[in-house]
Amino acid sequence: MTGCLVLFFWIAVTAALVLIWLFFRSGGYKRQPLDAPPGRDWTFTGERFVDPNSGELLEVWQQARSGERAYVRARSGEPNTHAP
């Protein structure tokens, strides 16, 4: 019985790792940048970076309640201060 549980555990862990790899590998899950912050309760974190794939300057916005982050295309040299 214990041998079956150990075998099941290793199969489950291996399957989970393969599924995670398939989901997050290159060409898998990609977050698309937004043109404006998602809402009024989002705040600019002060982080800015150049997306290595598109070359666009992106800003990081965060919703304090959930901790979710969103990537917004920067307009010129100033951070986006408007919310939809």
The verdict on 65 and 38 lying in the same domain is yes
Question: Rounded mean pLDDT of the chain?
Answer: 82
pLDDT at 28 over 80: no
The verdict on 22 and 35 lying in the same domain is no
- The dihedrals phi and psi of 28, each to the nearest 5 degrees, come to -90, -125
Looking at the DSSP bridge assignments, the partners of residue 57 are: 50
Residue for token digits 């919703």?
Answer: 63
Domain that holds residue 6: 1-30
pLDDT at 84 over 70: no
Domain count across the chain: 2
The verdict on 24 and 35 lying in the same domain is no
Higher pLDDT, 37 or 83: 37
- How much is the average pLDDT of 19-45? 79
Tell me: the pLDDT tens digits for 35-52? 888 888 999 999 999 988
Element (H, E) at 69: strand 69-73
